[in-house]
Structure 1
Amino acid sequence: MGQKHPMPNLSPSLSEILQSRPWLRYDSDAALLFDGVRLHDVAAQYDTPCWVFSASMLRARARALKAAFSDRGQPISIHYAVKANDHRATLTILRREGFGADVVSGGELRKAIAAGMAPSDIVFSGVGKTDAELTLAIQTEIGVINVESREELHRLITLATHLGKRPKVALRVNPHIDAGTHDKISTGREGDKFGVDWREAPALSRMAAKDPHLDFIGLAAHIGSQITSIAPFEAACQRLAGMVTDLRADGVPVSHVDCGGGLGIRYHQESPPDIADYAQAIVRHLGPLNVAISIEPGRWLSGPTGILLTRVIDVKAQPAPRSDFVFIDAAMNDLARPALYAAWHDVLPLHARATQRPEKAQTLAGPVCETGDILATDRILPPLSRGDMLAILDTGAYGAVMSSTYNARPLAAQIMIEDGKIAEIRPRQTLEALWEAERLPDWLKAE
């Protein structure tokens, strides 16, 4: 944060950023275009900070993912990880592309249904499901409940017995596989809070399959997020395949395997697998088993389809060799990932005139009263000044959905674009809305 820039080569040039993202370019008027729309015009109309999402990019990525499996002759059910971006517009687009939903709360379940998702196309994953959430899932007759523990399985049996229904159930297995991702988003290692230890899973599967109040259909696994190597997926699928074979040998019918999600994207210097290789890894191990296969992508679908627009408030000069602080109107309450995970997001100026000036290391800092409110550290960018506007890239997943109103900062507007059309899909929150739901106790009402 504002320190000496140790490795300038880590910060890509503007041309390198553009080369890796063909959906971005500068037009003849030197304005940055995102999927053919001038971002400067969006910022002028809706102010900053604001989120911009491309509907056509999301649709194209959804179709490419489906094609990766159909090209290999593999039927696949795809359930979008709602936690990545839960806006109803996003869910509506994916529903129309034939996707279901992977939810991790009762709220996400209800929101998916509100977006038109059929309950039978919804998978409920996640630890710590409450009795109320399990009851909702059972009564709604969703596609499958991925059970995460022995204790949850017993609670589910009790609830199903009481409700007189027979929910479809899969056992989420923790395969003890290190996905090589950030510690905070790894979910399949021994000791992680998710899933049933793979060594305990066979016995628990047999119990679930024998219970008359459950319709046990198979296994599930999810080993982490932002995975940039095929090897962990190969290892997880291989372990699942072995478990299916062993369970069937014990007389336990297994008709369904959920491979989870986690396929990463390029934020900086990552080289994530091609989706064709990802599909091939799943098909190679699970295709011969004659099971219904499903996946739960989130980040790969929506991450590159979003941008956070922001404006420079001021520049605070620092003595060499420290980089200047560039204060912007977007902050950690808008985009939490840099503060949570030291996550990298590339940045582009909204006008190409800046590319014609010398570049220097600068640190983009938000106005929130936290030292950790840094969105980009020591970036090689054109010199910035008050009023300049920037695009923070690849924020379509775990961006707006994780926003808060910390420091009484209203939620930013959300904009969707497609084929030159621009629509406000969530207006900027008003200041009054921050406190309109607050109530004073009676003893404080009298002055």
Structure 2
Amino acid sequence: MRTPVYLVDESLIKENMRILRYVKDRTGCKVLHALKAYASFATFPMMARYLDGVCASGVHEARLGREEFKKEVHTFGAAYKDSEIRSILKYSDIIIFNSFYQLEKYHAMARKKGLQVGLRINPGYTEVSIEKYNPCAPFSRLGIIHEIFREGFSKHKNKIDGLHFHAMCEQNSDVLERILKSFERLYGLYIRGLKWVNFGGGHHITRDDYDIERLIRLIIKFKKKHRVEVYLEPGEASVLNAGVLISSVLDIVRNNAQIAIMDASAEAHMPDVLLMPYRPHIMKSGQPGDKRYTYRIGGPSCLAGDIMGDYSFDRPLRRGDKLVFTDMALYSIVKSTTFNGTNLPDITLVRESGELHQVKTFGYRDYRNRQS
């Protein structure tokens, strides 16, 4: 197997799917996969057996969802373009608007195409600590705040089928419980007569310590109280711990420390490592100094900060060794770039049979065709 390569395990995704279907079966809610986190459609036929559809953020994701997942497509965009709205409506079942202006502008067109229409609101509460990942941070552009919603709802209520909020990031169901209290306090009066409420994403449902039973109680209680359909939009939870990025050591240099240069790049192949930032786990490694041999692990690009982090190992690294970065199915394949001309990693599936299936390879044409 050549490197770098994203290795995605279909059996592990299936385990996540079973957990999500358990929530569906217990509550009667609908679960959509968020394409922004993972869009490798080779696994969609299997995932579609468990979930109700996908949520998209624009025309290309909506089309991919319609053509490859082949079930419900819900699309939310911070703002839609005139040149794309017809295609978005073509591929979507529900469209969610981010302002009363865009609702008014495109509502009739959506209804003519037979779509349901929703509004994204700001629920007025969040516990996301990293501001760039906080959809309800001060001055957030995402979701209508209560003051504006209260002024505009009566004029537009006959145009609206449902409400959508998103206020979580990698969080447990106790956080959702507190968000729902704020949401119901601010927007509970407006739910009557609606068809659905979408609880958005950020639910880490397939994480080992996630309180699934609390989530189930919250959904059942909400549905019974308000008599609406409930949607969830997990992205990470669909593929959590179901993929790795395998990379080879190209060289080892020294500058006050041992530095291993890999054929995978933090900047190009796992950008959240630098954006969030966070230190990805490498199999059989420890924190610096925990094990006998410590190395700084970096990428091949010319960016000085193309660094994954500092790690220790039981034995010295050698040129040609392979390192395995864990939990790389989510927000890595979809965000990878060809910065610096760096080649994109291959994508390979581990089928349920254990067979390796190379889904995609990349080369010069992929780099060239993006430039001109």
Asked if Structure 1 and Structure 2 have the same fold, meaning a TM-score greater than 0.5 normalized by the shorter chain, the answer is: yes
What are the residue-to-residue correspondences of 1:184-199 with 2, within 5 Å? Answer: 184-199=132-147
Shift of 1:245: 3.6
> How many aligned residue pairs are there?
365
Quote the residue 1:143 is aligned against. 93
Counterparts of 2:103 and 2:365, CA distance in 1: 44
Structure 1: segments with no counterpart, 5+ residues = 1-44, 351-356, 440-447
Quote the residue 2:356 is aligned against. 422
Quote the residue 2:41 is aligned against. 88
Indicate the larger mover: 291-300 or 337-346: 337-346
SS at match of 1:347: coil
Shift of 1:171: 1.3
TM-score w.r.t. length of structure 2: 0.89
TM-score w.r.t. length of structure 1: 0.75
SS at match of 1:83: coil
Counterparts of 2:212 and 2:323, CA distance in 1: 30
Aligned residue among 210, 218, 223 for 1:273: 210
Q: Is 1:241–1:289's contact at 8 Å kept on the other side of the alignment? A: no
Counterparts of 1:293 and 1:81, CA distance in 2: 16
Aligned residue among 293, 296, 301 for 1:360: 293
What are the residue-to-residue correspondences of 1:74-113 with 2, within 5 Å? Answer: 74-113=27-66
Q: What is the RMSD of the two structures over their aligned residues, measured on CA atoms?
A: 2.5
Aligned residue among 226, 234, 237 for 2:170: 226
Shift of 1:414: 0.1
Q: Is 2:245–2:325's contact at 8 Å kept on the other side of the alignment? A: yes
Shift of 1:265: 8.0
Question: After superposition, what is the alpha-carbon deviation per residue over 1:139-161, rounded to whole angstroms, capped at 9, x for unaligned?
Answer: 44x32111111222122136448
SS at match of 1:146: strand
Quote the residue 1:123 is aligned against. 74
Residue 435 to residue 207, structure 1, CA distance change in 2 (3 Å) = same
Shift of 1:420: 0.9
Question: After superposition, what is the alpha-carbon deviation per residue over 1:338-396, rounded to whole angstroms, capped at 9, x for unaligned?
Answer: 1111122110159xxxxxx9533322100111122111x22232331211111000011
Counterparts of 1:391 and 1:225, CA distance in 2: 25
Aligned residue among 50, 54, 58 for 2:9: 54
Counterparts of 2:369 and 2:21, CA distance in 1: 44
Residue 297 to residue 146, structure 1, CA distance change in 2 (3 Å) = same
Q: Is 1:255–1:292's contact at 8 Å kept on the other side of the alignment? A: yes
Larger Rg: 1
Q: Percent identity?
A: 20
Quote the residue 2:335 is aligned against. 402
Counterparts of 2:370 and 2:201, CA distance in 1: 37
1:327 lines up with 2:261 in the alignment = yes
Q: Is 1:126–1:194's contact at 8 Å kept on the other side of the alignment? A: no
1:378 lines up with 2:310 in the alignment = yes
Quote the residue 2:280 is aligned against. 345
Q: Match of 1:146, as an amino acid?
A: I
Question: After superposition, what is the alpha-carbon deviation per residue over 1:152-197, rounded to whole angstroms, capped at 9, x for unaligned?
Answer: 2122136448xx4453111111112222242221112342110110
Quote the residue 2:271 is aligned against. 336
Structure 2: segments with no counterpart, 5+ residues = none
Counterparts of 1:417 and 1:122, CA distance in 2: 27
Q: Is 1:181–1:224's contact at 8 Å kept on the other side of the alignment? A: no
Shift of 1:306: 0.9
Quote the residue 2:247 is aligned against. 310
SS at match of 1:194: coil
Shift of 1:261: 0.9
Aligned residue among 122, 139, 151 for 1:174: 122
